[in-house]
Structure 1
Amino acid sequence: MNKLLIAVFFATSIAAFAQKQITVEDFTTKNTFPQKTVRGINWMKDGKFYSTLENNKVVKYDITTSKPVEILVDGSTLSPQIDIQGYMFSGDEKKLLLQTSFENIYRRSFTANYFVYDLTTKTVRQLSAHGKQSYAAFSPDGSKVAFVRENNLYYVTLSDMQEVQVTTDGKFNHIINGTTDWVYEEEFSFVDGFYWSPDNKKLAYYRFDESAVREYNLQRWGKTLYPTDYRFKYPKAGEANSTIEIWIYDLASQQKVKADIGTEKDIYIPRVKWTANGNTLSVRRLNRLQNNLDILHINASTGAATLVLNEKSNTYIDLEFTDDLLYLADGKQFIYTSERDGFKHLYLYSIEGTLLHQITSGSFEVAQFVGLDEKNKTVYYTSTEVSPLEKQFYSISLDGKKKVKLSQAAGVHNINMSTGFQFYIDYYTTATRPTAVSLYKTKDNALLKVLESNDELARILDDYGFVAKEFFSLKAADGTPLDGYMLKPKNFDAGKQYPVLVYQYSGPGSQNVNNTWGGGHFFFHQMLVQKGYIVAVIDSRGTGARGEKFKKVTYKQLGKYELEDLIAGAKFLATLEYVDDSRIGIWGWSYGGYMSSLAMTKGGDAFKMGIAVAPVTNWRFYDTIYTERYLQTPQLNAGGYDDNSPTTYADKLQGNFLLIHGTGDDNVHFQNSVVLQDALINAGKQFESFYYPDKHHSIQGAKTKCHLYTMMLNYIQENL
């Protein structure tokens, strides 16, 4: 061997030896790859300061220097000492509401203890001594705090700490006041169901009667001699929902007025908010099929309703996506988002509901409505105008003119603007770099300071040989272009053939393929790449960022087009010379688990191996709001539920299949996996399954996650 070859051999060996190997522990029980960020930013009124929670202290920072100027409160020095887990300013910034003893219920719901800290007197008082509270919130003038306890609504007058009970009929699994039922919490994404009027005089609140909703029974195994039952109201597709009412309580008279939301009871009220007028409440009303939306203005004194805006769709109105509704301070106009022209855009209406004009337009989506600077009549937003894979930051005048692109670098920008819109923080990431957090001055768009660069993480990633995403495109069966990316081994050799694992989520409006660092199960995928696999991520039709037509093609037939596209993806990958076409696998979680289950059954032999974690296996088992939005009810569209159910095609299972679920999953019930297992057994199909006792949909816990990823790694190495 000549000296040159020897040198090359040793250099290669040293490089290979120097690259650290990723272990499951690195991203489960350890924190080897910490991506830092700037959390808990609370912009202060004067626009010159912000505050954050760090080391049990609420610290005030100067915006221009990003240096701390004052410790507003230190939980460890209070009497009693408080482990501050969250905080909120009163409107005049003279008081702080401190949250501690936080305890989760479901995904968003919780109980906690709250304390009120007076920044002037430096004194702290417990909000209530009668049991834990939920969702405590100051009145606009800071004189009162409202909260929910055990399904009833209360408020406390801070001058004398007198507690007033607004409702008395709250009862678990029957009546809910001031917060939401399970399905609203999960699918409409909120739990704080009460709202102070801007003049501090009234409280509007939700009342749910869930008496007619059927219960779902979770067995909790724990370590007791007998398991315990936990029953909660969960409306499955086609079943009865809660009956919703909106009430308005007048603090002075202690009288309540019921809002007139119509005679039809089988509806949703997904959003409630006050207008700038303290006597006008805005209520959004959806029909059960979620293809007809009304905006109602309620007279808070009488409960009378005025229909302001109506929007209809041939498919569904995606309120989770088009959620923005901003009432201007002058009380004369509001901004509303809609997909009415095929893409999500911003529209300006008069307070009476007359469309004045469209603010943004074009073949792209408004991704984030950042805010409106009313003084300068300037709207701020991010959009996909440059590419569906990116989010860029823009300003535009309220009349839809003078559009300016504020962000410059390619990638994804998420924006947090200060009170008064003088400054903004840009959370910026690309496929090759973790998130950088930077502070800008809005007026001249000048960078003031990088608050977090994540340079240390970048060095760690380099030590471990992390590889960058390589984007690719393929075509669906109908010619529609689809986006994807690959992670290839560091020492990739195009002359070799590699096994490929496809990861996908595929759910309506989701997006896994974009110009960002990381993504779902990213460290697990990087570990697989180190072990000689290619990981490919594909966004099928039905996913987001590419307009209404692309997203809503799956309407009434979830799974059909997504499966076609994943099979097209497998066929595309099989044509690549460096892919071993006999070793293509697929996996996913939740909706992705549904699709990997469907791919291994109805999908024929497209994939050699599949893993499904917490999958829906028939949409009849899932909740009303999510499922019926996309499929209508089972009574109206039985085929849409059964024609693309993995249980329907259990006898067609091919390849190696691993099914995983947590028995305590309150979202996608363990029932889904039990029914699929039963169908596979009856069909004489061999497969493997594993359950995690009492674990939720995320299969929580560092040690549990370590076990899960280790099991999946072993299964992939043995079967793909």
Structure 2
Amino acid sequence: MKLNLTGLLLLITFISFAQKKLTISDIYEKELFKEETIKSLNWMNDGQYYTALEDNKILRYDVTSGKSDSVIIDGQALNLKIDDYSFTTDESKLLILTDKQKIYRRSFTAVYYIYTFEGKELQKLSSKGRQSYATISPDNKNVAFVRDNNLYFVKLSNMSEHQVTSDGKLGSIINGSTDWVYEEELYITKAFFWSPNSEKLAFYRFDETAVKEYNLQYWDNGALYPRDYRYKYPKAGEENSTVTIKVYNLKDNTTQTVDLGKETDIYIPNIQWTKNSDILAIKRLNRLQNQQDIFHYSTKFKSATNILTDKSKTYIHATYTDEWIYLDNGTHFLMSSEREGYKHFYIHRMDGQLEYKATSGAYNAEKLIALDQRSKTPVLYYTSTENGSTERHVYQVDFKGKGKIQLSTKPGVNTADMSKDFKYYVSYNSSATSPKEVSLIMTKGNKLVKVLKDNAKLKETIAEYGLTEKIMFEIEAADKKLLNAYMIRPANMDSTKKYPLLLYQYSGPGKQRIKNDWYGDKHFMWHQLLAQKGIIVVGIDCRGTGGKSEEFKKMTYMKMGKMEAEDQVATAKYLGTLPFVDQDRIGIWGWSYGGYISTLALETGPEVFKAGIAVSPFLWKYYDTIYSERYLRRPQDNPEGYNEYSIVRNAGKLRSKYLLIHGTGDDNVHFQNAIALQNELINQGKQFQSFYYPDKDHSLTGTKTKMHLYSMMTNFLLENL
């Protein structure tokens, strides 16, 4: 085990400067360190303007100056709180989302309005109840939405409302939206799609009748009796919803059901229309999630053809390779895949045959930004890890993989938002040494037009509080592979003293927390506060995390937790040998998967850690089908994988000071997980601390909750490290 010491030698240098003391209130109540950015950016059709939502106003900006020249909509004047908005394709109308109310992590209901610029008319989309996921048709004549598990559309010509489905029922049938596990693990909430000619609506139908219920109990701030909330949650190895795809024809009010074969124990991670309004494309993923098939369904002949199959020896993470676009030429489609060991973009003919590799090499083409299809050889804009796994840079390349140009010039994490005519883009950059900078760039020549947000005020606040640099470095894993890490150290370090150290990690498969960016995660400022209180904080991405090769990410398959915990223990052991670290005062903490790994590391490395915190840790067998089975298969297929690295099974090994935290209203990682762990710790005679937040979900949201949570965790560490 060794460390790349570049930059870390600064740690043993005595530094002296004034430093204003951070408080929990500064971070989570006053939000003094919140970055400025541009939200809800929409490029206008002419390419000369874009709009953005600021202070409840939709402002129009001139790209030649980067300055706002008009107010498109003033929410206050309309007596509306605008949460989001979208234009019709001809920009004659605006769909405004207001009063957004969360259901789960991504799902919501809202109240929508249509604003017509001619006549300045504001109309409620529907007065018959709240709606979800309202979407304008390509011809700008209709808006579809979901209400109470049924699909509807409104004709904008007369604002008449039409019902597409009628069998929707809570806990049974869902039309046009998704069940809990699809929302959480496949990131789908809106599950309906307009055909290019606006004459058809393709949509998902979930039959979750066979899925077992989970019962959440809410105390509702002191109600006389607690409130039960039951919803369908498929745990590992249990029954899933039966999912079918249907196509509704607006012209004759008929509905087709797509036949994808006899096997119904499958997932459908994506559907979309090709450029042909008679051909619907569908991705089908098997239950083991190691084979993905693409089907083309003909609404004319009512038949589906399998045109492409992707297979993996481990798993296919459908949401990590979800770029899938049918090109304007009608003869090709673009898709992303990890089939060659890294994520890359491929161009296929409509019959599924590979035509071009747009990107290739020992790096990940991580995110598709835009496609310029105006020429015979279209251009792809994307971000990648070609400059290193902690960096993200913006590139352009043609579909044949030729003419690659790096557009981003500043080190760190970069992304972009391209104008519709590709003449300009808005650049977003941050690094470990600088918060986010938002700039308007002319694509030709890559020329800066204007810095839109420089976060100058935030930089002044950072200097005032004397925040220390997030130093990036690499450290060896237990098997000698290099892991990405960062260190936040106390200012004014005394080279003659040893300091306590806290390891932070998430460790979840394919996730990456260690990047050359400013915040990186929501805990960054709290880590700065701990550094001010004399604790060194080290963040680490262990084996199985993202940003590197498919092999690095998937080596934990079927034995989740083993390598992740080994790497945390090995890292702590090595850091304990450094001259400025007190090896007897090392701690670890994490949230969700990080809570699981921090607990397992405490159990499997009791001689290394003095204390640890786990927020909302989970047990594989209690978690959902898609997630648990993707990495471990079903419990009946891999009982050892579920049991050997269970934090309940290893509870008897715990010797460190331990704080267990959970929300009782957690619909994701159920409170049941904490109860099972606590029961076993009690059975094993282990003393520990626990705290449960009434009615709070997995994120433990709310200012007062955050204030209490981070104050409690700070005090625990100061008392036990």
Q: TM-score range by the shorter chain?
A: over 0.9
CA-based RMSD = 1.4
Partner amino acid, structure 2, of 1:697? H
Offset at 1:494? Answer: 2.9
CA distance in 1, matches of 2:43, 2:319: 25
CA distance in 1, matches of 2:322, 2:109: 26
Q: Kindly report which structure 2 residues correspond to 1:512-531, keeping only aligned pairs within 5 A, or say none.
A: 512-520=513-521, 521-531=523-533
Q: Would you say how many aligned residue pairs link Structure 1 and Structure 2?
A: 705
The residue number in structure 2 matching 1:20 is 20
Q: Kindly report which structure 2 residues correspond to 1:620-639, keeping only aligned pairs within 5 A, or say none.
A: 620-639=621-640
CA distance in 2, matches of 1:301, 1:250: 11
CA distance in 1, matches of 2:436, 2:299: 45
Runs of 4+ in structure 1 off by over 4 angstroms are: 13-16
The residue number in structure 2 matching 1:3 is none
Work out whether 1:58 is the aligned partner of 2:58: yes
Listed one character per residue, the Cα deviations across residues 579-620 of structure 1 (whole Å, up to 9, x for unaligned) are 10001100000000000111111333221101000111x200
TM-score, structure 1 as length reference: 0.96
The residue number in structure 1 matching 2:3 is none
Q: Kindly report which structure 2 residues correspond to 1:326-341, keeping only aligned pairs within 5 A, or say none.
A: 326-341=325-340
Work out whether 1:352 is the aligned partner of 2:351: yes
Match of 2:565 among 558, 563, 566: 563
CA distance in 2, matches of 1:99, 1:341: 42
CA distance in 2, matches of 1:351, 1:267: 24
Work out whether 1:437 is the aligned partner of 2:435: no
SS of the residue 1:371 aligns to: strand
CA distance in 1, matches of 2:379, 2:520: 33
Q: Greater relative contact order (Cα 8 A, min sep 6): structure 1 or 2?
A: 2
Contact 1:86 1:100 in 2 (8 A): yes
Listed one character per residue, the Cα deviations across residues 505-550 of structure 1 (whole Å, up to 9, x for unaligned) are 0001111111111223011100000011100011100001111000
Offset at 1:308? Answer: 1.3
Listed one character per residue, the Cα deviations across residues 275-302 of structure 1 (whole Å, up to 9, x for unaligned) are 1111111110000110000011111234
Contact 2:663 2:695 in 1 (8 A): yes
The residue number in structure 1 matching 2:552 is 550
The residue number in structure 1 matching 2:116 is 118
SS of the residue 1:639 aligns to: helix
Q: Kindly report which structure 2 residues correspond to 1:394-405, keeping only aligned pairs within 5 A, or say none.
A: 394-405=395-406
SS of the residue 1:85 aligns to: strand
Work out whether 1:537 is the aligned partner of 2:539: yes
The residue number in structure 2 matching 1:7 is none
Contact 1:257 1:302 in 2 (8 A): no
Work out whether 1:72 is the aligned partner of 2:72: yes
Contact 2:666 2:698 in 1 (8 A): yes
CA distance in 1, matches of 2:280, 2:372: 23
Which shifted more, 117-126 or 583-592?
A: 117-126
SS of the residue 1:695 aligns to: coil
Q: Kindly report which structure 2 residues correspond to 1:637-652, keeping only aligned pairs within 5 A, or say none.
A: 637-652=638-653
**Structure 1 residue ranges without an equivalent (≥5):** 1-12
Work out whether 1:183 is the aligned partner of 2:177: no
Offset at 1:687? Answer: 0.4
Q: Percent identity?
A: 52
The residue number in structure 2 matching 1:129 is 127
Contact 2:474 2:482 in 1 (8 A): yes
Work out whether 1:676 is the aligned partner of 2:677: yes
Contact 1:366 1:381 in 2 (8 A): yes
Offset at 1:33? Answer: 1.3
The residue number in structure 2 matching 1:470 is 471
TM-score, structure 2 as length reference: 0.96
CA distance in 1, matches of 2:392, 2:515: 9
Offset at 1:15? Answer: 6.5
CA distance in 2, matches of 1:418, 1:495: 55
The residue number in structure 2 matching 1:313 is 312
Listed one character per residue, the Cα deviations across residues 465-497 of structure 1 (whole Å, up to 9, x for unaligned) are 111112222212222111211111111233321
CA distance in 2, matches of 1:697, 1:301: 46
The residue number in structure 2 matching 1:699 is 700
Offset at 1:334? Answer: 0.8
CA distance in 1, matches of 2:44, 2:279: 27
Which shifted more, 499-508 or 349-358?
A: 349-358
The residue number in structure 2 matching 1:9 is none
CA distance in 2, matches of 1:477, 1:192: 43
CA distance in 2, matches of 1:292, 1:642: 26
Q: Kindly report which structure 2 residues correspond to 1:536-615, keeping only aligned pairs within 5 A, or say none.
A: 536-615=538-617
Match of 1:211 among 198, 209, 212: 209
**Structure 2 residue ranges without an equivalent (≥5):** 1-13
CA distance in 2, matches of 1:173, 1:547: 40
Work out whether 1:227 is the aligned partner of 2:226: yes
The residue number in structure 2 matching 1:322 is 321
CA distance in 2, matches of 1:490, 1:539: 24
CA distance in 2, matches of 1:77, 1:525: 42
Contact 1:474 1:572 in 2 (8 A): no
SS of the residue 2:589 aligns to: strand
Listed one character per residue, the Cα deviations across residues 266-325 of structure 1 (whole Å, up to 9, x for unaligned) are 000010111111111111000011000001111123431011110110000121111101
Partner amino acid, structure 2, of 1:554? T
Offset at 1:552? Answer: 0.1
Contact 1:114 1:136 in 2 (8 A): yes
Partner amino acid, structure 2, of 1:131? G
Offset at 1:14? Answer: 13
Contact 2:357 2:399 in 1 (8 A): no
Partner amino acid, structure 1, of 2:65? T
